[in-house]
């Protein structure tokens, strides 16, 4: 009994084990395993087409793996026969083009996925809008906000239901360079205040270096190296990793 209990306490927030996904007989995700603790940001970093988004979609539950398992807090949520539906996975999502609902106010956008009484929802919306420094826009509409501001509302919306896992697929690539660093830093500090395990997909080494606690370097469907940003950067696994880090910088 005591053993079982301690195993549960130590279970990572998110674990994917030996995930494989094939399209047309080709494994685009090829035996990928990853573990992320609550409060930790892991960057899945790799060139376009290497299988990052497909990996994320399987964790979100909108794509099925051909083999492998996904666990949340030590509990199986998906293998090849059993599958918790996406809406019950307590996952927050953010994509580059994950637009706000144009016809809803900022407050209603942030409240969209929330359950509970009207007062509870309002309190959570106000808290988050204060934290992204957009409280003054609470009754405004998306078109009245800049791109960066809309992005912060989208982040508030994704975090509002207190997701266990936050999946972010190149969320900053639509922003102009001038804004991007500031929003990356703000996003990171907001994420750190929440208790989610964060998986951030990017093809930009600089973004991974800036935001990750851990980098998982992906190439042709496989994770070829994994570790703290400094270690991955200073001890690249092979020439191709060196080229990848220097090309895009």
As beta bridge partners, residue 162 has none
Q: Does 53 bind ligand ADP (CB under 6 A)?
A: yes
Q: Least distance (Å) from ligand ADP to the CB of residue 23? A: 4
Q: Least distance (Å) from ligand ADP to the CB of residue 48? A: 4
Centre a 10 Å sphere on the Cβ of residue 188 and count the other Cβ atoms it contains: 15
How far is residue 204's CA from residue 244's CA, in Å, rounded to a whole number? 9
> Smaller CB distance to ligand ADP: residue 49 or 74?
49
Q: Which does 117 bind (CB under 5 to 8 A by kind): ligand ADP, Mg ion, none?
A: none
* Binding residue (CB under 6 A) for ligand ADP from 35, 40, 42, 54: 54
Tell me, residue by residue from 35 to 64, as one string, x for binding to Mg ion by CB under 5 A and - for no binding: ------------------x-----------
Query: Which residue has its beta carbon closest to Mg ion?
Result: 53
- Which tokens sit at 71? 């666990």
- Which tokens sit at 159? 């975090």
Strand order in the sheet with 214-219: 91-95, 165-169, 197-202, 41-45, 214-219, 222-227
- Which tokens sit at 113? 């996925």
As beta bridge partners, residue 70 has 16, 78
* Binding residue (CB under 6 A) for ligand ADP from 51, 68, 142, 171: 51
Return all residues near 102 (Cβ < 8 A) that are at least 6 apart: 141, 142, 143
Cα distances from 11 to residues 8, 14, 38, 171, 228, in angstroms, run 5, 8, 10, 28, 20
* Binding residue (CB under 6 A) for ligand ADP from 28, 38, 188, 224: 28
- Which tokens sit at 80? 């090849």
Q: Least distance (Å) from Mg ion to the CB of residue 52? A: 5
Pair 188, 180: CB distance under 8 Å: no
Q: Does 48 bind ligand ADP (CB under 6 A)?
A: yes
Q: Does 202 bind Mg ion (CB under 5 A)?
A: no
Q: Least distance (Å) from ligand ADP to the CB of residue 200? A: 12
Q: Does 154 bind ligand ADP (CB under 6 A)?
A: no
Q: Least distance (Å) from ligand ADP to the CB of residue 29? A: 7
- Which tokens sit at 33? 């395993």
Q: Does 50 bind ligand ADP (CB under 6 A)?
A: yes
Q: Least distance (Å) from ligand ADP to the CB of residue 95? A: 11
Identify the three-state secondary structure at position 200. strand
Q: Does 219 bind ligand ADP (CB under 6 A)?
A: no
Residues contributing to the site for ligand ADP (CB under 6 A):
23, 28, 46, 48-54
Name the residues that contact Mg ion, by CB under 5 A.
53
């Amino acid at each position: 009994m005591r053993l079982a209990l301690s195993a549960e306490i130590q279970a990572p927030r998110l674990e994917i084990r030996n995930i494989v996904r094939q399209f047309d007989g080709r494994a685009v995700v090829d035996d990928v395993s990853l573990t992320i603790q609550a409060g930790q940001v892991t960057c899945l970093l790799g060139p376009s087409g290497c299988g990052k988004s497909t990996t994320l979609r399987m964790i979100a539950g909108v794509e099925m793996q051909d083999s492998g398992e996904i666990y949340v807090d030590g509990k199986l949520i998906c293998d090849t026969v059993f599958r918790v539906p996406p809406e019950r996975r307590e996952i927050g999502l953010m994509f580059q083009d994950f637009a706000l609902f144009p016809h809803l106010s900022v407050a209603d956008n942030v409240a969209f996925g929330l359950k509970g009484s009207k007062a509870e929802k309002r309190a959570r919306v106000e808290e988050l809008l204060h934290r992204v420094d957009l409280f003054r826009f609470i009754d405004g509409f998306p078109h009245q906000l800049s791109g960066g501001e809309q992005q912060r509302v989208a982040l508030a919306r994704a975090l509002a239901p207190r997701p266990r896992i936050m999946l972010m697929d190149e969320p900053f690539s639509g922003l102009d360079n001038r804004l991007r660093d500031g929003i990356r830093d703000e996003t990171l500090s907001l994420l750190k205040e929440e208790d989610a395990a964060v998986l951030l997909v990017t093809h930009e080494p600089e973004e991974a270096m800036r935001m990750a606690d851990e980098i998982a370097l992906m190439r042709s469907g496989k994770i070829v190296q994994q570790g703290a940003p400094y270690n991955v950067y200073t001890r690249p696994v092979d020439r191709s990793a060196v080229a990848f880090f220097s090309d895009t910088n």
